[in-house]
């Protein structure tokens, strides 16, 4: 099946639903959108006869409550939707001070992930949500900028409702996918694989099916070796769908991540994932994940690379 443009789910609330005073770098979404709409092409690319990647931006609908319940406790879901979380719960999530649009932002963000997953299952190839990768959210509470766990909801949705027997969640963010590991623990057909920095948050790690903890300051070689091993583990599971948490906070200039990976190393990582999945004919959903470089340009560059590479692989698929 051939794909032309990469379908990318995006909603203005991804940026605007976060308060400008929040510590979270909300501008990364809108800045990335601008980049993808107005790509900076090298001289070589401008004169090349090869077709360049293109993106089809789609606006998500808010996710339905019943889909949140695939991976979350009813009490937590309903209290969040009613605006009744405690101060302590909100503080654990972060993104404070919360805007009035926080509930709606969360619902469209989750909706984008769900629609991207349904698209990948139905049509094959690659799809992406330009936010999310909210891997620190657990069944009954949110944490670390994550309200609900989009990866876990989409994995269970695929297994329960989309006729998928095996789904793999590959988490390459510098932080461990602790919420995803916990929520999907014991669910038949769901495999969780996390490559992360041993000394980054969360300090008390959960147990994924496979955890590849890389020592701090490791750089490209050790990180990419772990990525290759993680890919081997994912594909041994013979997944019919790959959910890729593609956080770029392993970058050397990231203010939180400690892995010291170069921009070139991150690009190599992305190609390793897309190449393997496409060679095996497995649909891939890209979940954006973390990125907190100072200045933010380095994070935007790395996400630009990620989505542009996904767009290129979609053309080859």
Which spans of this chain sit near Zn ion (rule: CB under 5 A)? 173, 175, 247, 249, 290
Q: Which residue is nearest to Zn ion (CB)?
A: 290
Using the minimum distance from each CB to Zn ion, give the nearer residue, 173 or 301: 173
Using the minimum distance from each CB to Zn ion, give the nearer residue, 96 or 255: 255
Q: How far is the CB of 70 from Zn ion (least distance, A)?
A: 23
Taking each continuous run of H as one helix and of E as one strand, the counts in the chain are 12, 8
Give the single-character DSSP code of 198: T
Q: How far is the CB of 291 from Zn ion (least distance, A)?
A: 8
Q: How far is the CB of 241 from Zn ion (least distance, A)?
A: 22
Using the minimum distance from each CB to Zn ion, give the nearer residue, 60 or 290: 290
Using the minimum distance from each CB to Zn ion, give the nearer residue, 124 or 247: 247
Long-range contacts of 210-213 (CB under 8 A, 24+ apart): 211/176, 211/181, 213/176
Using the minimum distance from each CB to Zn ion, give the nearer residue, 31 or 196: 196
Q: How many CB atoms lie within 10 A of CB 16?
A: 15
Q: How many CB atoms lie within 10 A of CB 118?
A: 17
Using the minimum distance from each CB to Zn ion, give the nearer residue, 254 or 304: 254
Using the minimum distance from each CB to Zn ion, give the nearer residue, 240 or 249: 249
- Rounded CA separation 28/15 (Å): 8
The owner of tokens 């995803």 is: 180
Q: How far is the CB of 299 from Zn ion (least distance, A)?
A: 11
- Rounded CA separation 266/271 (Å): 9
Yes or no: say if 171 and 209 are a contact pair by the CB < 8 Å rule: no
Using the minimum distance from each CB to Zn ion, give the nearer residue, 17 or 290: 290
Q: How far is the CB of 173 from Zn ion (least distance, A)?
A: 4
- Rounded CA separation 113/93 (Å): 19
Yes or no: say if 266 and 254 are a contact pair by the CB < 8 Å rule: no
- Which ranges in the chain belong to alpha helices (H)? 13-16, 27-37, 43-47, 65-68, 74-81, 87-93, 102-123, 150-161, 178-184, 219-236, 263-279, 297-316
Yes or no: say if 260 and 217 are a contact pair by the CB < 8 Å rule: yes
Using the minimum distance from each CB to Zn ion, give the nearer residue, 60 or 247: 247
Q: Is 75 exposed, middle or buried (0-12, 13-18, 19+ CB in 10 A)?
A: exposed
Yes or no: say if 7 and 59 are a contact pair by the CB < 8 Å rule: no
Q: How far is the CB of 135 from Zn ion (least distance, A)?
A: 8
243 three-state secondary structure: strand
Q: How far is the CB of 255 from Zn ion (least distance, A)?
A: 11
Q: How far is the CB of 115 from Zn ion (least distance, A)?
A: 23
Q: How far is the CB of 133 from Zn ion (least distance, A)?
A: 8
């Amino acid at each position: 099946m051939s794909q032309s443009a990469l379908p990318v789910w995006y909603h203005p609330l991804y940026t605007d639903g976060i308060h400008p005073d929040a510590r979270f770098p909300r501008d990364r979404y809108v800045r990335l959108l601008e980049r993808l709409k107005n790509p900076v092409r090298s001289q070589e690319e401008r004169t090349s006869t090869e077709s360049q990647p293109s993106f089809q931006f789609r606006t998500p609908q808010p996710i339905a409550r019943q889909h949140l319940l695939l991976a979350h406790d009813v009490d937590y879901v309903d209290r969040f939707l009613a605006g009744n979380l405690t101060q302590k719960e909100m503080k654990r999530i972060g993104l404070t001070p919360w805007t009035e649009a926080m509930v709606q932002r969360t619902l469209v963000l989750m909706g984008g992930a769900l629609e991207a997953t349904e698209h990948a299952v139905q049509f094959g190839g690659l799809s992406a949500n330009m936010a999310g990768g909210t891997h620190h959210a657990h069944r009954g509470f949110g944490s670390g900028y994550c309200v609900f766990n989009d990866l876990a909801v989409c994995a269970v949705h695929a297994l329960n409702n989309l006729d998928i027997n095996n789904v793999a969640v590959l988490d390459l963010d510098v932080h461990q996918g602790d919420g995803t590991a916990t929520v999907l623990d014991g669910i038949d057909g769901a495999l969780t694989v996390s490559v992360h920095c041993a000394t980054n948050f969360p300090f008390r790690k959960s147990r994924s099916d496979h955890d590849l903890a890389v020592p701090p300051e490791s750089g490209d070689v050790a990180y990419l070796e772990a990525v290759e091993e993680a890919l081997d583990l994912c594909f041994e599971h013979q997944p019919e769908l790959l959910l890729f948490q593609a956080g770029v906070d392993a970058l050397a200039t990231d203010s939180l991540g400690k892995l010291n990976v170069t921009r070139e190393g991150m690009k190599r990582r992305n190609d390793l994932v897309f190449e393997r999945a496409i060679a095996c004919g497995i649909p891939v959903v890209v979940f954006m994940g973390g990125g907190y470089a100072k200045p933010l340009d380095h994070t935007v560059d790395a996400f630009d690379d990620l989505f542009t590479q996904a767009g290129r692989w979609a053309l080859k698929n």
